[in-house]
Structure 1
Amino acid sequence: MTPIASRSHLVLIPSFNPGEKVYETVQAARARWAPVWVVVDGSTDGTAAGLTRLAESDPDLRVLVLPENRGKGAAILAGLVEASAAGFTHVLTMDSDGQHPADRIPSFMAASQAEPEAMILGKPVFDADAPRLRVNGRKVSNGWANLETLWMGIGDSLFGFRVYPIAPLRRIMERTRWMRRFDFDPEAVVRLCWAGVRPVNLPTPVRYFTVEEGGVSHFNYLRDNLLLTGMHTRLFLGFLWRLPQLIVRKFV
């Protein structure tokens, strides 16, 4: 398999203590796309060194290592700044733990290239092994995200397999201190919708790995749900402020 090369679109993988799955994830992404960048977000599991060794023999793999854990959004922002400086216009973000399907990278990139002003959002298709608590719980966030955007069409607010146009996302993130941790994915799509970036949804299979299969999860039910609750409270206030503008955009 020959990876597709691009000077405008790159794969960006934020990574924090993912375990051995990260190597499989990165190699699967590289089999389909060039370049692939990994932002190591202060990992302490030895994967920074392992990824750096991989990059030494692969000119289309770049590893950025942050000295301390700052959160998923902060890692993506660091990647956006570097990607913009290198002349890239779009990034496909995917998790480093193997849950996201690398074989869908070409179709997502093609959709972005066809509509470069849009954001291409994965809409997860769960298998029978997906935790019911996670599957059902995300419906709450999805409902709030769609209300906050006056139903612009966000298929899933939490799924991180996406293609973003760099310029508007970077501009939004650099204007706020939020969107740095687990709140990044839902807040990014809401704020991009507010900025007029249209969502395009593509059904995407997702797999949850058991611990025996090498699965690693950093999701903390209480902490992260409190974070999401605070985020949606903040976004709802922003929605009320923007409501006249959103109504005009949608109906006029």
Structure 2
Amino acid sequence: MNPPSRTHLLLIPSYNPGEIVYATVRAARAQWSPVWVVVDGSDDGSAEGLQQLAADDPGLRVLRLAHNSGKGAAVLHGLDAASQAGFTHVLTMDSDGQHPAALIPAFMAASQQAPQAMILGCPVFDADAPLLRVRGRKISNAWANLETLWAGIGDSLYGFRVYPVEPLRSVMRGQHWMRRFDFDPEAVVRLCWRGVRPVNLPAPVRYPKPEEGGVSHFAYGRDNLLLTWMHTRLFFGFVLRLPVLLWRRLRSAVPVSGHTPDA
């Protein structure tokens, strides 16, 4: 492993993940340093277990929230601490074994090459992926692309991503949404509105079975209602921003120095 990065941090929000979190963190640490885990009010004993791991690993840090506040709130807590420590980018990764630790270096490298962009994972599903989740995300993706005037968001829900810290902190501190399951899709839409360019990279996603320690806190009814309300808000925000988005799109299409684009 290379020396610890001073700019790019791996951030893992975690809520009652069970035993699988230890394999997730070990796999992440094998690929990157530093790794921070934000324990979002877990009461399954994982906070204590992670702190034991961190006691023997200077590349691992555990932050704890007293109460469960949601994924977005946990990420924001980590962003604030990362900003104070001087980090410029964070890669967010779920604690439940769904995301590919082996691709952490590639995503970090892509971010280092395009530091003004956000690097978005585009999920590559295997045959065991739940069809409801595979098909249902197409609706959110369609709305996200409409709300950003087709800025190039490959997937609005996949949380394996590298964000520039300060633009994301500014977006989140500017309003009180994005604190729970609505974090991932609202983050990419609002960052696109800020002019942060999406770069899409394919990344496999897996859903560990219960016998493998897989744990899911996704509730179809509750979380789909949350996404519906989120996209309703974002659509009206899109309408208000449409003149600016159109102007920005037209400006980016204007040839520089009188040259016309290649055919």
Q: Is the shorter-chain TM-score for this pair beyond 0.5, marking a shared fold?
A: yes
Q: Which residue of 2 aligns with 1:251?
A: 250
Aligned equivalents of 2:114, 2:3: Cα separation in 1: 18
Post-superposition offset of 1:3: 4.8
TM-score with structure 2 setting the length: 0.95
Q: Any idea what SS the aligned residue of 2:207 has?
A: coil
Q: Cα RMSD between the aligned structures? A: 0.6
Q: Is the 8 A contact 1:19 1:47 kept in 2?
A: yes
Q: Any idea what SS the aligned residue of 1:179 has?
A: coil
Q: Which residue of 1 aligns with 2:259?
A: none
List alignment gaps of at least 5 residues for structure 2.
Answer: 252-263
Q: Which residue of 1 aligns with 2:76?
A: 77
Aligned equivalents of 1:176, 1:20: Cα separation in 2: 34
Q: Which residue of 2 aligns with 1:107?
A: 106
Q: Which residue of 2 aligns with 1:122?
A: 121
Q: Is the 8 A contact 2:71 2:180 kept in 1?
A: yes
Q: Is the 8 A contact 1:4 1:106 kept in 2?
A: no
List alignment gaps of at least 5 residues for structure 1.
Answer: none
Q: Any idea what SS the aligned residue of 1:189 has?
A: helix
Q: Does 1:231 align with 2:230?
A: yes
Aligned equivalents of 2:166, 2:48: Cα separation in 1: 31
Q: Is the 8 A contact 2:19 2:46 kept in 1?
A: yes
Aligned equivalents of 2:137, 2:213: Cα separation in 1: 24
Q: Is the 8 A contact 1:3 1:31 kept in 2?
A: no
Q: Which residue of 2 aligns with 1:9?
A: 8
Post-superposition offset of 1:4: 5.2
Q: Is the 8 A contact 1:6 1:35 kept in 2?
A: yes
Q: Which residue of 1 aligns with 2:206?
A: 207
Q: Which residue of 2 aligns with 1:32?
A: 31
Q: Any idea what SS the aligned residue of 1:55 has?
A: helix
The aligned length equals 251
Q: Which residue of 2 aligns with 1:156?
A: 155
Aligned equivalents of 2:250, 2:215: Cα separation in 1: 44
> 1:72-113 CA distances to partner (integer Å, 9 max, x unpaired)?
000000000000000000000000001100000000000000
Letter in 2 for 1:229: T
Letter in 2 for 1:169: L
Q: How does 1:34-183 map to 2 (within 5 A)?
A: 34-183=33-182
> 1:13-43 CA distances to partner (integer Å, 9 max, x unpaired)?
0000001110000000000100000000000
TM-score with structure 1 setting the length: 0.99
Q: Is the 8 A contact 2:4 2:59 kept in 1?
A: no
Letter in 1 for 2:37: V
Distance 1:63 1:92, change over 3 A: same
Q: Any idea what SS the aligned residue of 2:154 has?
A: coil
Aligned equivalents of 1:4, 1:221: Cα separation in 2: 42
Runs of 4+ in 1 over 3 A off after TM superposition: none
Aligned equivalents of 2:68, 2:8: Cα separation in 1: 26
Q: Any idea what SS the aligned residue of 2:52 has?
A: helix
Aligned equivalents of 1:203, 1:29: Cα separation in 2: 18
Post-superposition offset of 1:5: 2.3
> 1:125-170 CA distances to partner (integer Å, 9 max, x unpaired)?
0000000000000000000000000000000000000000000000
Q: Which residue of 2 aligns with 1:196?
A: 195
Aligned equivalents of 2:210, 2:191: Cα separation in 1: 35
Q: Is the 8 A contact 1:14 1:76 kept in 2?
A: yes
Letter in 2 for 1:50: G
Letter in 2 for 1:224: D
**Identity percentage over the alignment?**
73
Aligned equivalents of 2:16, 2:34: Cα separation in 1: 22
Q: Any idea what SS the aligned residue of 1:31 has?
A: helix
Post-superposition offset of 1:213: 1.3
- Structure having the higher Rg: 2
Aligned equivalents of 1:21, 1:213: Cα separation in 2: 8
Q: Any idea what SS the aligned residue of 2:87 has?
A: coil
